């Protein structure tokens, strides 16, 4: 990150002018932070809120988990980008593609942030086989954006099994662009498990130039609704996207999109 330094010369007249104009610098919005993920690891941030994405003081290792923790702790919209060396575990030097395997559920995304990957063929966020949790759970009432990444093989289980890949659990806006959401499952021990790929609560989800395929919604009693997308009471907008080969394990359920609100 590059910083610009400005030298300001103060005088009594200048101070008097500022006082006269009534400028309250304490009310200015904080500058956004850009946290760059450089590791496929899964360590927590050392000190969330200090503006340094690193799993230990001074080690410079920034994981996706640590970046989310820092973004949550910093008030205002931030960015998360990726620059992972192919020497990292789960990276292929030939294709320059990397996979991140969270060992447990990532932190809820509780503040506005733009998570921008290097491309769907370059970055996968995938559950380890047999491990059951949702990857991205958005609780922010602001705007959260996902772009240029693949979310796959996610299987949340039990009472939290709505929205296999991404759940918008708040009233905010989730933008999904140039993403692939595939092979995710909403299943467990609840009456119904809805939204194999995406579940939207009372907020807004915008899907653009994305593919949502091969996802499944399956509940224990009544089955599941919305194998690809389940919209509870909010709004879902889809444009220039492919929604295909999703399934809902219930006779009246929709394999592609199930609506409870607008779309």
Q: What is the pLDDT of the chain when averaged over all its residues? A: 78
Record the pTM: 0.79
Average pLDDT of the segment spanning 206-211 = 96
Using one digit for the tens of pLDDT, what is the confidence trace for 232-253? 889 999 999 998 877 665 544 4
**CA–CA separation, 139 vs 144, rounded Å?**
9
- Residue 30 banded pLDDT, cuts 50, 70, 90: low
DSSP 125-145: EEPPTT----SEEE--SSEEE
- Would you state the structure tokens that stand for residue 95, as one six-digit string? 């294709």
Distance CA 146, CA 96 (A): 20
- For residue 102 the two structure tokens come to 């969270």
Residues 40-99: pLDDT tens digits?
999 999 999 999 999 999 999 999 999 999 999 999 999 999 999 999 999 999 999 999
pLDDT of residue 71: 98
pLDDT tens column, 91-124: 999 999 999 999 888 999 999 999 999 999 999 9
């Amino acid at each position: 990150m590059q910083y610009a330094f400005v030298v300001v010369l103060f005088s009594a007249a200048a101070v008097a002018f500022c006082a006269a104009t009534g400028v309250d610098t304490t009310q200015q919005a904080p500058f956004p932070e850009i946290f760059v993920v450089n590791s496929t690891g899964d360590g927590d941030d050392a000190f969330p809120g200090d503006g340094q994405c690193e799993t230990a003081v001074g080690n410079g290792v920034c994981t996706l988990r640590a970046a989310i923790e820092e973004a949550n702790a910093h008030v205002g919209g931030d960015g998360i980008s990726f620059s992972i060396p192919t020497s990292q575990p789960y990276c292929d030097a030939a294709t320059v593609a990397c996979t991140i395997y969270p060992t447990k559920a990532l932190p809820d995304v509780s503040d506005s942030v733009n998570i921008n990957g290097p491309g769907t063929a370059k970055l996968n966020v995938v559950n380890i086989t047999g491990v059951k949790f949702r990857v991205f759970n958005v609780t922010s009432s602001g705007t959260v954006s996902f772009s240029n990444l693949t979310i796959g093989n996610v299987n949340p289980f039990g009472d939290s099994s709505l929205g296999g890949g991404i759940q918008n659990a708040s009233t905010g806006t989730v933008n999904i662009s140039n993403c692939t959401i595939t092979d995710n499952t909403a299943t467990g021990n609840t009456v119904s498990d809805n939204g194999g790929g995406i579940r939207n609560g009372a907020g807004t989800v915008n899907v653009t130039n994305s593919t949502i395929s091969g996802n499944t919604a399956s509940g224990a009693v009544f089955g599941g609704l919305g194998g690809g997308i389940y919209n509870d009471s909010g709004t879902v907008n889809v444009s220039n996207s492919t929604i295909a080969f999703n399934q809902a394990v219930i006779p009246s359920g929709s394999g592609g999109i199930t609506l409870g609100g607008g779309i």
